[in-house]
A and B are shown apart, each in its own frame.
Chain A
């Protein structure tokens, strides 16, 4: 409990991280409650197209007369969900591969790390584009593609953390107690290796939001849901006459990613105090 308390104290001492957390909470609330409180279908043509913000519709209407605020709120839900699930998937694979690789070493390690390095070599966004294009864009394929290109860096990190832990006395003690390898790996070593992984996970959500927006900007998005990148892609054709239509969803991405990055760095400072940046 004291560990949690000192962690919270360190985190709260970081003003930028607190600001990020506050902004992120607002965005999360908007994503969860927004579509219920502002019950406008983002695909409905509610009025005349090209209406300016702060008129009849809070953020105006887009090229087809759809309510931009409704799109931003739904988009928040979609972007955050895809990014979070993709990160969870990448974490799962990365933790598994990294833990097994670091714990067993030898040939297992060589093979798994060769695969990991291979995936680190391939340009990740190009691979994501190809995967989504081949399997047709749906929420599932986009999420899976982002997870597929994100897990290798987690695996690398977890492996080095596990290697640092595996010869410690407590691990020897677990072995002497007759614990199985799986128990030692996942119940004893991993919890100790987790702090840097938590930081990477938080920053990965931010990257995933950027990747998702890029994919949907290229048209690789589920046609049945609105996302911020999709909104930018649609508005782009009217850049000359109605630049704000492009600007608004981009600002939403910028604020969200910035808030997540601030929280991630706050976590880093609070969880790994010795590695604190000067």
Chain B
């Protein structure tokens, strides 16, 4: 099993190469479709640009070379994690992104954890109490939260918890001017994390609850569950120890598939809550029309999704030993 897993990881990593190349090509393609190249943008900012000046810039950027050559230079740069230079912020794109990535990952992982844990609990409860008012209430709630635009829900939660009740901060990641250390800082970040994480989690919570309910009902009707019942095992043990481990597999698949969706959603949530992550960076890049930054974010977030899919595949083999990665 061990060596098979290692081979699997290596093969999966090798499979990533064409995907990454394709992402790079798409980025390159988009850059060249954009009206006006980098030279024109910089020239436009400088205010008084002669055609000779622009031609000089084009030469400096290598924009006068054949397209294919430019593409190879671009890929070569990517291999060295060089995503270009943000002309607006005057910093390499990669450092801007790496600065913001941890905040986004913290938000996303919190939201994923919340939505999976609560989604499984509610889905199991709903399935076990099928047809009762609890089941109906959970189903209606799931249906509603599945239809809410998350960014709007976030704004409404701000109205309720920050403006009316005044119990939670409406934005940011920590209190300004309150440097704090260690635990104090962690608690402060946690307080700021609550609203954005819940906002982000609710949509997926709705989805996972519904999937878990269906999956649980399917598993509960299988023969081994009937056997467990005949053996006289208590119902809760049947549900949690015997049914859930099998019923949870679709959730894991779904969570992996949703990772890209979650990253996209974080643009909106972070904009609403002023959360200093990648999403907020996208919004700033949009305001300043910073295309190299936008494309860099598209590239990095695609890479993050590819890595997340790999992680889910490995987790899958761990959760379901019947799946052997050869």
Contacts and interface: CB of A to CB of B under 8 A. Distances in A.
24 contacts: A118-B19, A121-B19, A121-B305, A122-B298, A122-B302, A123-B305, A125-B264, A126-B263, A126-B264, A126-B267, A126-B302, A129-B267, A129-B294, A130-B30, A133-B286, A133-B294, A134-B34, A135-B34, A214-B149, A232-B151, A239-B159, A243-B159, A247-B159, A253-B152
Interface centre among B23, B260, B272, B306 (most CB of A within 10 A): B260
Given A125-B267, A126-B264, A240-B163, A217 B151 contact: yes
Nearest to A259: B147
A219 interface: yes
B291 interface: yes
Contacts of B84: none
A147 B305 CA distance: 21
B26 interface: yes
Interface string B149-173: 1011101101100010000000000
Interface in A100-136: 114, 118, 120-131, 133-136
A68 B217 CA distance: 45
A52 B309 CA distance: 49
Given A126-B297, A218-B271, A258-B144, A250 B155 contact: yes
Nearest to B34: A134
Contacts of A122: 23, 26, 260, 298, 302, 305
B144 A254 contact: yes
Interface centre among A130, A214, A229, A262 (most CB of B within 10 A): A130
B147 A257 contact: yes
Given A121-B19, A130-B294, A220-B286, A214 B151 contact: yes
Interface of B: 18-19, 22-23, 26, 30, 33-35, 130, 143-144, 146-149, 151-153, 155-156, 158-159, 163, 214, 217-218, 257, 260-261, 263-265, 267-268, 271-272, 282-283, 286-287, 289, 291, 294-295, 297-298, 301-302, 305-306, 309
Contact of A261 (B147, B260, B289, B305): B147
Contacts of B158: 239
B268 A218 contact: yes
A213 interface: yes
B163 A239 contact: yes
Contacts of B271: 217-218
A210 B152 CA distance: 10
A253 B149 CA distance: 7
Contacts of B23: 118, 121-122
B298 A278 contact: no
A258 B143 contact: yes
A130 B298 contact: yes
A166 interface: no
Interface residues of A, number: 44
A246 B155 contact: yes
Given A130-B295, A229-B149, A243-B163, A278 B217 contact: yes
Given A229-B149, A246-B152, A123 B286 contact: no
A57 B286 CA distance: 35
A125 B152 contact: no
B152 A232 contact: yes
A76 B143 CA distance: 21
Interface in A227-245: 229, 232, 236, 239-240, 243
Nearest to A206: B147
Contacts of A257: 147-149
Contacts of B298: 122-123, 126-127, 130
A168 interface: no
A134 B64 CA distance: 21
Contacts of A258: 143-144, 147
Contacts of A218: 267-268, 271, 283, 286
Nearest to A243: B159
A102 B55 CA distance: 49
Contact of A124 (B19, B149, B159, B264): B264
Nearest to A213: B149
Contacts of A118: 19, 22-23
A277 interface: yes
Interface centre among B23, B146, B155, B282 (most CB of A within 10 A): B155
Nearest to B153: A250
Interface in A32-63: none
A278 B272 CA distance: 37
B151 A254 contact: no
Nearest to B16: A121
Contacts of B152: 213, 232, 246, 249-250, 253-254
A142 B131 CA distance: 42
Contacts of B302: 121-123, 126
A243 B170 CA distance: 14
Nearest to B295: A130
Contacts of B289: 133
A21 to B, nearest CB: 15
Given A250-B149, A257-B147, A261-B143, A277 B309 contact: no
